[in-house]
Amino acid sequence: MARRFDIRAQPGFATIAMITFFLLYLPIVTLVAYAFNAGNSIAVWEGFSLRWFVSAANNDVVQQAALRSLIIAVFAATISTTVATMAALATTRTRPYRGLTFKYAFINQPLMVPEIVTAVALLIVFSRIKVWTGYSGLGYLIAAHTAFCIPFAYLPIRARLEGMDLTLERAAADLYATPWMTFRRITLPILRPGIVAGFMLAFVISLDDVVITEFVKSGGQDTLPTYMLGQLRRIVTPEINAIATVFLALSVAIVTAFFFLNRKKA
């Protein structure tokens, strides 16, 4: 009987994997370490200190950018998750028909098109709308982030729906429950982990976005990532490391929660 092929059993696999992870995470570890540097350098260690975290927390520009990032991310994640939930229900709770695959591809279009292309397209469209309406608020950033985050929220919600047993929904229909009552009492509670996972994924994608934000934002609308990019063009201090470390911790916490919510239960 032929042995089943297993890449993990190949000679040198563990060594190559360890080297790959080491090279991948070494820059991140270095960034986090120098966030606690007492000196002004990001290359010379001068002792342990929390001064740069305190400096970032007391920086009014950082506070405003962080608040703006959170507002945009919350609104974008909420809207995109709502739209993604409706789209997932429409593409899974139906019989297969011609054009369904096209709709699936259309919903996931932002994942396939380079982000810079989406950013330039949004810049052109929103620039004309700004001229016509005179409005230049955060609505454009929220709309742009929402459009980009929809497929990220859609995928875990759709996956959850496809893995759901339809027995309870059919039983509710047999007991004369209306479609809305079935959704509210049966589908939504079972779907909730997928919705929460989609929301968190959309939230972290919006919070970390740089390219689309840089193209769409108006003057004085820096988010935390674009603020960091601007600082890197001027002067680099461990304050940027401290902000990046907080960003990293928040992203890891959200992704970890997403993993535990989205994993299959026995």
Across 92-96, 119-123, 166-170, 258-262, which has the greatest mean pLDDT? 119-123
Name the phi and psi angles at 93, rounded to 5: -90, 55
Q: Is residue 42 part of a domain?
A: no
Kindly report the CATH number assigned to the domain that includes residue 117: 1.10.3720.10
The predicted structure's pLDDT at residue 74: 94
Tokens of 259: 């993993």
Q: pTM for the full model?
A: 0.82
Rg of the chain on CA atoms, in Å: 23
The predicted structure's pLDDT at residue 266: 41
45-103 confidence digits (pLDDT tens): 888 888 888 888 888 888 899 899 999 999 999 999 999 999 888 888 777 777 777 88
Distances (CA, A) of 245 to 235, 238, 242, 258: 18, 10, 5, 20
Q: Is residue 2 part of a domain?
A: no
Distances (CA, A) of 64 to 37, 51, 57, 125: 25, 20, 11, 27
**H or E segment to which residue 243 belongs:** helix 238-262
* Phi-psi label, residue 206: left if phi above 0, alpha if psi -120 to 50, beta otherwise: alpha
Q: Is residue 188 part of a domain?
A: yes
Q: Is residue 75 part of a domain?
A: yes
Give SS3 for 250.
Answer: helix
Name the phi and psi angles at 48, rounded to 5: -85, 135
Name the phi and psi angles at 136, rounded to 5: -140, 35
Place of tokens 């700004």: 130
Q: Is residue 46 part of a domain?
A: no
**Number of domains within the chain:** 1
151-189 confidence digits (pLDDT tens): 999 988 888 888 777 777 778 777 777 778 888 888 888
Range of the domain at 96: 60-262
Q: Is residue 229 part of a domain?
A: yes
d(CA 68, CA 223): 6
128-132, 147-151, 163-167: the lowest-pLDDT one: 163-167
d(CA 100, CA 77): 25
Q: Is residue 28 part of a domain?
A: no
Give SS3 for 48.
Answer: strand
Q: Is residue 35 part of a domain?
A: no
